[in-house]
Amino acid sequence: MREAYLTGLEMIQTFAFGEYQDIESALDISEEKAGLVLGSLLSHTKNIFEYASDSMGLTTKEVMRGYSYYFYATVLPDMEAMFKEAGDIAEELKEEDDGSG
Q: How far is CA 94 from CA 26, 36, 88, 98, 99, in A?
A: 32, 39, 10, 6, 8
Same domain, 46 and 74: no
- pLDDT per position as a tens digit, 76-87: 999 999 999 988
Give 101's pLDDT tier (boundaries 50, 70, 90).
Answer: low
CA angle 79, 52, 46 (to 5 degrees): 70
Same domain, 30 and 45: yes
Specify burial of residue 85 (Cβ count, 10 A radius: 0-12, 13-18, 19+).
Answer: exposed
Output the pLDDT for position 62. 97
Same domain, 50 and 74: no
- pLDDT per position as a tens digit, 32-67: 899 999 999 999 999 999 999 999 999 999 999 999
Same domain, 28 and 39: yes
Alpha-carbon dihedral sign for residues 36, 40, 42, 46: positive
Same domain, 62 and 34: no
Same domain, 49 and 15: yes
Q: Which domain holds residue 44?
A: 1-56
Question: Hey, what's the torsion of the CAs at 50, 51, 56, 61, to 10 degrees?
Answer: -10
Q: Whole-angstrom Cα distance, residue 84 to residue 72?
A: 17
Task: Please tell me the total count of domains within the chain.
Answer: 2
Same domain, 37 and 77: no
Same domain, 5 and 42: yes
